Structure 1
């Protein structure tokens, strides 16, 4: 669950769908528990706060009724009874106010004003209106509302100062007028407005806003402006040099490709990646793992594309798919240097490509996306370790079928898109949304409706929610109905051969994509996949061992091989069982059939 208090009270489930909390007293109860930020609240205090000092007869029973109603909405485990009272169980940043404070605190320790500005913008974007708007008149919420509103105003001022530092004075001068009108006695806000107006060439208005502040303070409080505002007024009159705007930083550079189609079903993953990779987050290497065609590159580019302003020296995509499997760290370094267009300054250190790259980026603040590392994973890992050690301001985002396996790496498996529940109402999950969008691009006017929903759901489930598979198959609706396409997918070989133009050669068909993964496997790994593919469904570890072991493959080797195949994203391990995507199983069965035809068995 997630809770919103920075505006009208709101609740969302894990998928981001709104959860209705019925009845005003139940909402007041939830608001009271949220005001106490997960701490226990005695029953008598809850009664006082929910009924605003006018409790009904049998107040204890009435409170228990409201607690039961709230538990039906949130789940019994979310509202617990303890000796000290009732408590709302909260994890991490489930409350938008907690997330807001975390972003403000992260911004406070950032030295780069552009990064401070971005973090504070993210924090302020969480506000949907006045805090606890539903219970703004309740006594129990007044202190918390005042605290949050003060934090919000301070964040607005902090962001305005950060924008001044990066040279956004002209836009800021126009935008601050409303904030100053709402809070006319706030001196810090006035001084920021004065600086912005002066730097924008509006000296008369800068002096005028000071005079207005002085008049209001004298009339309403009988005091004069503080030393900071007075000193700034004097400096403006003298046109002192330190008031001049900062030199503008040249725009960030990037070679990220512009997406041809929208990214569907990965919104939360994009936001998480940006939070993880942001300077100051503590993470400098994130690796996205998953089967080819699962959408790792699209996700990486989408996440990196929104971070160009956070890295002074740019965001760069280094494509490794064109390198051979025998490539060395020096080969990757040469590719990176060519992409970044940087030259190493003279100085100590080894004079080979890795050393030159490390010297070239040593003092830079940049994000490098190492894309398609699976066939050069050892070399990519060595290069990544060297760059991270040499360049404190460098962040890396890698993609591949397996993790790099070096210290400090944060591994994020990229799952298939969410599938609709079997047997229920077909919801617009990620897989359904992508298929419908691509189908509409191929067949104008196509949309999800009651007549085709079940067939679309079947197609998405048969394709395992793999984005590449959905994109390859959707154009077949030019010549088939959704029901015919769902039946067509029974022929898995036909699916593997579905072709599209405009994609890299390795992804023009599912077979091309799986060929690349297959060629990287050792013979024993191929044998395990082939033997498992002959037994549809999932397998417990014991069953998988029994299926795979044989005279040529000792049973004690099978667990390690299964683990390596999970690492390479060709097997999925969840809830204590192994399983294989349908497309992978069909491909492996096809390869086994080829080898049997050649008289070579299942190896």
Structure 2
């Protein structure tokens, strides 16, 4: 049995299942026993704490009833747990194991961190300790007299750990990440000089020295006005060092970080801090966590954010495996092997993957599992059994349903049921809308944004799409359009009850945004549904140009769609559609009768890319060509499938011949063999030299 006091009172079984404790008095009894950390609490003290001076007629009997109820609740969850509440003179004690209470685990991790010499070890241990917090300590009993002193002590220990964690991360060169993270804590605790010093150092090392000096001036003014004192000598020395650009306060040279392919965030993750912390806690307690929820709710964003906070805790790497482009053919291990860069050999793919991960302390983030849930579940179950240090974080619209799996349901962003502008401005959904629309939180904007968010059910993707229309429509017109039933396209859940969530809400959101696009913008957007995993600018021009869209117009149209948050731009640059937008646009592509032609243009373009790269793979440009083909791997698979389905035998054979050396260099022999076999099986006329090369 495990107990939680670093947040609202909580109890879990050893398997991580929550244990309900009925009744406030019974919960208060448990909280009182927990704050005494195994020491006996007298019956008189417990009666005074539970009834606050208004004790019942027979306080001993009343207390005994509450103790019996607590014992029954614990025993109902785990056999033998009844004995955890022990009768011990002069009252009762909770006999929990040393590591069964999160406060004890927190103290142990902090103590180990303070004893560690290396900043990376300190940062990892302190990060794990801080991840145990689920909110304010004993938040549901914060006003009870028995909880005041211990919760104040725990909160102080939390802040000290936060400060030490920030200092360790500063030593590791993580000043850019700390700038935003510490800003909120400094605003909440403006007089903590150690916390302020860490934030000032992060700002200074991130090249924001003016803001660092402003922060120091703010503290000096606050101390003078409210306490009549000056900052301590450390902050005074730091002030002088920032002013003088002292090299001692320059950013340290960073050492190699844990291997990861997680993308860098391009926008702030709004309103998901509690979800990130909860998933971190679940991963600390178990080895498999699945984030579930409807399409567009932000599962991938939360998973990536969690992974980025855990790189230090997984020295053998945090790797993201996007399963969107995998259709379930072949072995489930192959997409993971490809991301990990494991070479091919005679063993089956799952055995090679298990062998590669057996001794690794790594985290695999398996993204978008819902369309291949059965093979992925089989693979994950085998990997967790074979690799004891491996942890898996999956995103899916349904759980994997494996033993030991912890599921975190990602809910839509909440909007309070109130007209108070201050409370509305603090809600995650409204904050997201205002941030994406570039609006200040004025009372009028906040109230209008709240109405829009409510009508969009708090789905982040729908909110972002609506916010993209604010420059053209304004919030009042936007809200008015959403009040019109035919303009909302079922946003209030008027679709079939058995339809997927994205068909009841997100499809309507995207359809509404689609109707506001020009003809050329619609053509480019629906044609971008064909590339798998995104495409380069050249790829977008090849796929989207034609039939009313000139090649020279594609870039401007793409830029307009990026501005509308309908297309996501990555590095290099590359352009991709969000999952729900891509599915919607594929339907529009079919309705326009363009699918076959666009898929053929897509396939021909990637055949040309592969053939251009083939010769360069054997020369000084090999590294660049490998990177290009790595980025286009999903697209070349789609291109081959297009040629095979269309019966274009010669193009299919040319493509697999052009890619064969790339597959060999990457150790993906199994994929090469299957692709060659599929292409050779396509009937039709083929130049003898091409068929001979393939054979």
Please report the TM-score for the alignment, with normalisation by the length of structure 2: 0.42
Q: Which has a greater percent of helix?
A: 2
